[in-house]
Amino acid sequence: MENIANTYIVAGASSGIGLELATLLIHHGFEVCGLSRTPGPLNGHKLYRHYSHDFLSDEPLPDITVKAAGLVYCPGSIMLKPLARLSKEDVNKTITLNATAALLFVQQYLANIKNTKDPSILLFSSVAVRTGMPFHTATAMAKGAVEGLTLAMAAELAPDVRVNAIAPSLTDTPLAAGLLNTEAKIQAAKARHPMNTFGTSAEIAKVAFHMLTEYRWVTGQVYNINGGLGTIIK
């Protein structure tokens, strides 16, 4: 009999895209083990279990023994600084949260998805990796590492585990609140994108959901969900 798991382990499930994805998974009857510093709005739901963890800390990841259908790493940061002002600490912190912690997360819970039906891993990159953008040096370095990690793991874990990533452009999340906190900033953000708008957590989460649960022949891909920024000229 096939070993079908009904649980997803989601890092960063308390806010932003991670929260939207966890909510969508629960809506479709999946259980979610969420790792984050704070419990978040889903805490207390019968299909949600919160595990406290700070991905910038040296504390060991929580022990989770349940079999899982997939792993999702959502935590990230937006480090915007001129090249001349970037410190080694800035770069190390950005790479640690976005890339190194993603690797450690997968290593910790890879056994949870082994030998289950069609398991998958999903990471998050950024439009800044493939589109040169001023002040995004640390972010582009870190998310570039995420894309390399995605491809390397996809190769190593095939054909048993699918590994993909999503690279969004600016999305309306708590992380990006400072970039969208005035009408002038909102209009400027829209104008930078050929589709004349920025992303939403709900839209990104829908793509993530389908990548996790339906795209059985897709691995080693980085999906650019960017409103056309860096992809087309208008």
| Residues 88-108: tens digit of each pLDDT | 999 999 999 999 999 999 999
Tell me the angle at which helices 137-157 and 101-113 cross, rounded to the nearest 10 degrees: 20
Per-residue pLDDT, 30: 97
The token pair that represents 224 in the structure block: 């650019």
Beta-bridge partners for 172? 200
Tell me, yes or no, if the pTM score tops 0.75.
yes
- Given a cut of 50, the residues of the chain with pLDDT beneath it are 1
Q: Which residues are CB-neighbours of 203 under 8 A, at least 6 positions away? A: 225
Amino acid at 208: A
Per-residue pLDDT, 1: 36
C-alpha distances out from residue 91 to 63, 126, 127, 135, 179, Å: 29, 16, 18, 12, 20
Per-residue pLDDT, 2: 55
Per-residue pLDDT, 172: 79
Per-residue pLDDT, 67: 97
